[in-house]
Amino acid sequence: MSRYVIGRIGQAVLVLWAAFTVSFGLLQALPGDAILIKFLNPELGLGPEQIADIRTSYGADSPLVVQYVHTAINFLTGNFGYSIHAGVPVGDLIVANLPPTLWLSTLGFLLSLVFAITLAALSALSPFAWLRAFIQSIPALFISTPVFWLGILLIQIFSFQLRLVPIINPGPWQALILPVLTLAVPISAPLAQILMRNIDHVLTEPFVAVARAKGASHRWVLWKHVAKNAVLPTLTIGGILFGELLAGAVVTEAVFGLNGLGGLTQRSVNDQDIAVLQAIVVFSAAAFVVINLTVDLLYPIFDPRLKVRQGVVA
């Protein structure tokens, strides 16, 4: 077991290093850089010599290897540098933007699970074929709903027309209601789809027929035999969907004017604020690694067969 865990941690470090290096290379390859974008901005009206001075003071024109090593050492010591665009330490930006994103994506993900399970259950229990077909087509509708449209529509209805939740100056929970709803809809779609397909698939397995033959009711079979087996692939997809959450958060945050990593990423990409982007890439890679590790460790709980195999490996 310990060798397994050490191996996983080693992998994680490797993934983080690769993410750091690749993003560093890609960001350097882009035309222009943050200093150019910030200081060539006509609002400042700086001359070429002044810009050259600023570039020297930031070490922007030193060799790539030097910059790479410098940045890497700084990261290892927890110094993420300064955002050239915002004029604050990157650490401050992450601290200001990470918690709202975590809340938004965690709640969004939980709500999407609720949606997905509800839809799957309704479809599995529905007595009519036409109703089943209808419910099974809902995920397609959900996934093709543009997030920004949905967000704005929800704001228009619930905040501006019905005046149920304020968008400006909301309380901490009020602030999350509409964005979480907006984010959950598209995320729930693939989850619901996978869950439904797996339920259908598992229902055709021989052990279900055996259970039925022993006199188990449809409901009993669904809850006791099918659900557990159908949830595994959903879990895998759930881990992967974390990336979607971050992407969906860009739009949700823009529409609702929320602080968050999504919006920060979008702004930083646009301004080529490399220090911020590097930090975000490393943080996101870390989050992915942790989530996927958690998913791997959760498997055996749902499927005892995996527990045995893992025991052998360790």
**Could you say which of 49, 63, 77, 204 contacts another protein (CB under 8 A)?**
49
Count of residues that bind another protein according to CB under 8 A = 68
**Could you say which of 105, 188, 234, 272 contacts another protein (CB under 8 A)?**
272
**Residue 180 and residue 245 in contact, taking contact as beta carbons nearer than 8 Å:** no
- Is 155 a binding residue for another protein by CB under 8 A? The answer is yes
- Burial profile 134-160: b = 16 or more Cβ within 10 angstroms, e = fewer: ebbebbeebeeeebeebbeebbeebbe
Rg (CA), the chain: 24
> Closest Cα to residue 175, out of 91, 251, 76, 103?
103
Instruction: CB nearer to another protein: give 193 or 278.
Output: 278
Residues 66-85 vs another protein: string with x where CB under 8 A?
----------------xxxx
For 82, 160, 166, 178, 182, the CA distances from 157, given in Å and listed in that order, are 40, 6, 11, 11, 13
First-to-last alpha carbon distance for the chain, in angstroms, is 4
- Is 10 a binding residue for another protein by CB under 8 A? The answer is no
Residue 244 amino acid letter: E
Instruction: CB nearer to another protein: give 4 or 75.
Output: 75
Residues 181-220 vs another protein: string with x where CB under 8 A?
----------------------------------------
Residues 83-112 binding another protein (CB under 8 A) are 83-89, 92-93, 96-97
Give, to the nearest 10 degrees, the angle between helix 227-256 and helix 174-203: 150
Q: Residue 144 Cβ, how far from another protein at the closest point, in Å?
A: 14
Distance CA 34, CA 270 (A): 9
**Could you say which of 12, 15, 36, 286 contacts another protein (CB under 8 A)?**
36
Contact residues for another protein, defined by CB under 8 A: 30-33, 36-51, 53-54, 57-58, 82-89, 92-93, 96-97, 146, 148-149, 152-153, 155-157, 159-163, 166-169, 250-251, 254-259, 263-264, 266, 269-272
